[in-house]
Structure 1
Amino acid sequence: MAIKVLFVCLGNICRSPTAHGVFQKLLNDAGLHDEIQVDSAGTGDWHIGRSPDQRSQAAALSRQYDLSSLRARQVCKADFQTFDYILAMDECNLADLQAMRTHQAKCELGLFLTYAKHTARREVPDPYYGGEQGFDEVLDLVEDAAEGLLHHICAHHGLGNGAAL
């Protein structure tokens, strides 16, 4: 059975779809797309059904990540039963997820940047109201954490000899 990962931010149009796209490319490149599945969602409902922010898409595409097929959705209670990892982009969204979590939830719930190796930051900043450089900063942080997460999953679930990258 596949390991399932859900990335969560507020609106699911900037940070979490970026993490989704970056992680999906890592999985594809490592040949692990059948063993590990990925999705993204937002804690808010403002953007349901919308494509990722054009600035997120442009920044991602400049690094060969295609986010164009992704559509925003809101996290739901069933996600806590479906996903093995639910990773929030910041403390506020993590608190919202913890409040939604049921006692039966099987998932590992935490901050995405816990898996980053090259930063001491705990949160992926929301680039929505900032300039273009914020979207590149998000990509830098997400790439770092995505690689760490993939190593973690491979090591803890016996995939790719623990060293898919």
Structure 2
Amino acid sequence: MIKVLFVCLGNICRSPMAEAYFRQLIHKKNLENHFEIDSAGMGDWHVGKPPYHKTREKLDEQGISYQGMKARQINARDLDAFDYVIAMDDQNIDDLNRLRIEVPKAIVKKLTDYIADDSIDYVPDPYHTGAFDETYQLVEAGCLALLEQIKKDHQLESGQ
């Protein structure tokens, strides 16, 4: 089982959008039996809450389910429980590096590290920018590229 955790600041906008998109993507590729997918936030402000209403609106617009998703806070154990911990920005990476005690099992990278365009450095927080369309486009591009990398890393083919 390949375990992927998406991380942002509060776990109500970017990381749940990425979790929902990635879930749908692996479902379409018939790979759901190979994956466990989750999301978490660095902070605890929104624990137990559903994704932000504008995130839900964007996902609804795209026909992507977020059923049952609730915000949670990341903990140090997640860095060993997951194979890929995918952050949305440099601050998330800095916070994850402070959280870990030892070298984690997980590959810890930004989602934009998987996008071939070097001019894209991070996924902006739409809670502050209001740019949910831009965030969705970056999440989509990053998740597609992430899945291709994971398929290479684990010799997976769609439909297996």
Q: Give the TM-score band, short-chain normalised.
A: over 0.9
Q: Deviations over 1:16-37 (max 9, x none)?
A: 0000000000011111111021
- Counterpart in 1 of 2:69? 70
Counterparts of residues 31-70 of structure 1 (less than 5 Å): 31-70=30-69
- Aligned length, in residue pairs: 159
- Counterpart in 2 of 1:149? 146
Identity %: 39
TM-score, normalised to structure 1's length? 0.92
Alignment RMSD (CA, Å): 1.4
Query: SS state of the match for residue 128, structure 1?
Result: helix
Q: Which amino acid aligns with 1:129?
A: H
Q: CA deviation at 1:130?
A: 3.1
Gaps in structure 1 of 5+ consecutive residues? none
- Counterpart in 1 of 2:82? 83
Q: For the Cα contact (< 8 Å) 1:52–1:68, is it kept in 2?
A: no
- How far apart in 1 are the matches of 2:143 and 2:12? 18
- Counterpart in 2 of 1:16? 15
- Counterpart in 1 of 2:24? 25
Q: Which amino acid aligns with 1:45?
A: D
Q: For the Cα contact (< 8 Å) 1:80–1:102, is it kept in 2?
A: no
- How far apart in 2 are the matches of 1:153 and 1:27? 11
Q: CA deviation at 1:118?
A: 5.1
Deviates more, 1:122-131 or 1:149-158: 122-131
- Counterpart in 1 of 2:98? 99
- How far apart in 1 are the matches of 2:51 and 2:83? 24
TM-score, normalised to structure 2's length? 0.94
Runs of 4+ that moved beyond 6 A: none
